[in-house]
């Protein structure tokens, strides 16, 4: 088999795998993960169940791929934000993070109430844990490191603090959608001991 044939085959396989993940994600929002069957996913992408099993062991393996897909999208947005942010403008950075967090909880966002109410509670909890962990890692490697070089670090247990803050913000906004951006910003600033740095 030539290398061109191999790369074409792998490309087609990757495309099918992505199609399965997209279909599972869409169906999950339509009727809830607990109600999805492998047949639902296979039918949506016009393949047989046996071909589905060539790409994924079971429905839970697809769920993990869906979580990774959504997490990847969110991390890409955060990485773009980190690269574009105005270094040293902590007040603007907090405003941006509050807006980004709120957008993730919108009706079609990955943290939306719809995700929980459609029989996805277990998947939602796994998702929140995974995304909080990955965002904490990303911020620790990027934004926090930049802040520490300029000002020192006013918090200890950085990863754990960010993990707790992220989970708490998601829950607060989802449970109390009328909470103001100013309140959210103040909560973040107080938790991270940034109040003195806000202009």
Q: Has residue 23 been placed in a domain?
A: no
Contact 96, 55 (CB under 8 A): no
Contact 173, 165 (CB under 8 A): no
- Expressed as residue numbers, the domain containing 177 is 58-197
- Nearest one of 141, 199, 191, 140 to 167, comparing CA atoms: 191
In this prediction, residues 46-59 reach a mean pLDDT of: 94
DSSP category for residue 161: H
Q: Has residue 19 been placed in a domain?
A: no
**Confidence grade of residue 5 (pLDDT, cut at 50, 70, 90):** very low
pTM: 0.80
What is the pLDDT, as a whole number, of residue 107?
Answer: 55
What is the pLDDT, as a whole number, of residue 118?
Answer: 61
What is the pLDDT, as a whole number, of residue 9?
Answer: 47
Q: Has residue 158 been placed in a domain?
A: yes
Q: Has residue 7 been placed in a domain?
A: no
Sign of CA dihedral 179, 185, 78, 131: negative
In this prediction, residues 104-131 reach a mean pLDDT of: 71
| Predicted confidence (pLDDT) at residue 1 exceeds the cutoff of 60 | no
Question: What is the tens place of the pLDDT at every residue in 139-186?
Answer: 999 999 999 999 998 899 999 999 999 999 988 988 898 999 999 999
**CATH at 129:** 1.10.357
CA 2 to chain centroid, in Å, comes to 39
Count the domains in the chain: 1
């Amino acid at each position: 088999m030539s290398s061109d044939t191999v790369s074409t085959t792998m490309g087609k396989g990757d495309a099918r795998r992505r199609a399965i993940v997209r279909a599972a994600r869409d169906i999950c929002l339509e009727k809830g993960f607990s109600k999805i069957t492998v047949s639902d996913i296979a039918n949506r992408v016009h393949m047989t169940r046996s071909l589905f099993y060539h790409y994924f062991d079971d429905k839970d393996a697809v769920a993990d791929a869906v979580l990774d897909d959504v997490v990847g999208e969110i991390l890409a947005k955060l990485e773009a934000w980190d690269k574009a942010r105005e270094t040293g403008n902590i007040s603007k950075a907090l405003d941006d993070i509050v807006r980004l967090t709120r957008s993730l909880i919108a009706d079609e966002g990955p943290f939306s109430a719809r995700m929980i109410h459609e029989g996805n509670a277990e998947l939602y909890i796994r998702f929140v844990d995974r995304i909080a962990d990955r965002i904490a890692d990303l911020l620790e490697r990027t934004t926090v490191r930049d802040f520490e070089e300029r000002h020192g670090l006013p918090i200890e247990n950085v990863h754990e603090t960010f993990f707790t803050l992220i989970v708490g913000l998601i829950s607060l906004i989802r449970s109390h959608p009328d909470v103001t951006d100013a309140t959210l910003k103040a909560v973040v600033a107080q938790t991270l001991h940034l109040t003195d740095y806000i202009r």
